[in-house]
Amino acid sequence: MKEQMKALLKEAMKARDSVRMDTLRGLLSAIQYEEIQAGVNDLDPNGILTVLKREIKKKHEEIEFAKQANRAETMERAEKDLKVLEAFLPKQMSREELEGHAKTFIAANAGANMGVVMKHLKENFDGQYDGKMASELIKSLV
């Protein structure tokens, strides 16, 4: 995944696409920082996914703050950055798919509470669903 990001960075540089270029540089920098903190040369895919999610969360916060401050230009740039970052996420499950997996797990494990179901989803489908949506869905099922 990291090599793919570097290749896309080169393409963005050749195309003089400053938004993609800056976003990918920031992401690669965050990954490199995490590698240094962990004391490894290359992060595993789960580590990269964790960094990616953190960067996406930062962009969502930036968009919210820009909305509150009525800064349309900043908000527009953050939304473009967010699209670049979200392209690296695994395919996201629909609400129906997530509900199906949750119902199957609950049926197989009588008396499963919200924490157990969320743990199951995280272990098996990490990065493939929206946590807020999952939380609301499971509250209604349990």
How do residues 51-107 score in pLDDT, each as one tens digit?
A: 998 999 999 999 999 999 999 999 999 999 999 998 888 788 888 888 888 888 888
Whether residues 130 and 75 fall in one domain? no
Q: How far apart are CA 122 and CA 88, in angstroms?
A: 18
How far, CA to CA in Å, does 142 sit from each of 92, 102, 105, 107, 129?
23, 10, 11, 11, 18
pLDDT at 63: 92
Task: Quote the mean pLDDT of the chain.
Answer: 88
Q: How far apart are CA 91 and CA 105, in angstroms?
A: 21
**How confident is the model over 9-35, as a mean pLDDT?**
92
Q: How far apart are CA 1 and CA 67, in angstroms?
A: 32
pLDDT at 86: 87
pLDDT over 90 for what percent of the chain?
A: 39
Q: How far apart are CA 22 and CA 20, in angstroms?
A: 6
- In the chain, the amino acid numbered 101 is H
Residue that the structure tokens 């199906």 belong to: 100
**How confident is the model over 102-131, as a mean pLDDT?**
83
Overall pTM surpassing 0.85 (yes/no): no
- In the chain, the amino acid numbered 116 is V
Whether residues 11 and 65 fall in one domain? yes
Sequence length of the chain is 142
Whether residues 63 and 81 fall in one domain? yes
Joined tokens for residue 109: 């494990």
Instruction: Report the CATH number at residue 42.
Output: 1.10.1510.10
For residue 108, name the pLDDT band (cuts at 50, 70, 90). Answer: confident
**How confident is the model over 126-137, as a mean pLDDT?**
81
**Domain extent at residue 118:** 95-141
Whether residues 28 and 71 fall in one domain? yes
Whether residues 100 and 67 fall in one domain? no
